[in-house]
Amino acid sequence: MVLRFFARGKTDTLFILHPRRVCVQLPSGVFGVDDIVGFITFRRTVVPFVGQMGQLIGTATPAFVRFAIQMHKMKSTQGFTLIEVMTALVVGLIMLLVGIPAYNALMASNQVTAHVNDFAGAIQLARSEAVKRGGAVTICPQAANGSCSGAWADGWMVFPDRDGAGVRDMNDRAEDPVRVWQVAAGDVTPTFTNMPAYIRFLASGELDTTNAAGGMTFSFEFPHCEGNQVRQFAISTTGQMTVTKTSCTSGS
């Protein structure tokens, strides 16, 4: 298909050589936008070489020319090859295989840290409350009925121990617990080693040694323990607490 137009009084020819290419033959030399007369204009200057691309504009542009321009624009937008897609999928799969275990380990580590911090916070709170209230305050494993008959792995509570029995009996239920910690379902549950039935602080801030002569030492160990991920708590008779890392005993 051939279309003729005029530039500086000379007839030049626009050839549609291929459905996706528009080529211009310009024997009259270099020309710009101001040189074009007629219904076809060029957006930028075109050098006089056969095959040089020119971008056509204007509402009067013939339909077949607009089609050729549109095809040329479509050519510049290319998709991905099959090899590129497969490569991206393989890389993504490798990242998932490596990332998911690392993510799970990170989440478990965060839960371990949260449990340790919560229990350490409970010990500090019980001691400070005993001093503030001028009476014994106890930490015990919390049960659903509000008693101390639960398991440490399920949660714990701090409460004023009026009679110093180490359990939250009827004498203590006149007051609500100072605070209750519950282990959420699905959380990493630690194994408690050498845990006492309760931990009680006196009004002086000292540890009640009724069931802990010389102080207390107990530890948290979590599933899939590796290295020195065990946390060991030590409470002296003066009520001072330390937390250290020790080696795992059960392994992963």
Mind listing the domains of the chain with CATH numbers? 2-75 (no CATH), 108-246 (3.55.40.10)
Element (H, E) at 235: strand 230-235
Q: What percent of the chain has pLDDT over 70?
A: 63
Q: Which carries the bigger pLDDT value, residue 146 or residue 170?
A: 146
The beta strands (E) that lie in 85-175 are given as 137-141, 155-160
Quote the pLDDT of residue 148: 85
pLDDT at 51: 45
| Strand 36-37 to 2-7 pairing | antiparallel
Q: What is the pLDDT of residue 238?
A: 92
Q: Cβ distance 248 to 225 under 8 Å?
A: yes
111 — pLDDT class (breaks 50, 70, 90): confident
33, pLDDT greater than 60: no
Distance CA 215, CA 205 (A): 13
How far apart (Å, rounded) are the C-alpha atoms in residues 132 and 248? 38
pLDDT given at position 45: 40
Residue (of 57, 34, 36, 103) closest to 22 by Cα position? 57
How many distinct helices (H) and strands (E) make up the chain? 2, 14
pTM over 0.85: no
Q: How far apart are the C-alpha atoms of 168 and 137, rounded to whole Å?
A: 10
Q: Lowest-confidence range among 45-49, 53-57, 157-161?
A: 45-49
Q: Is 51 left (phi over 0), alpha (psi -120 to 50) or beta?
A: left
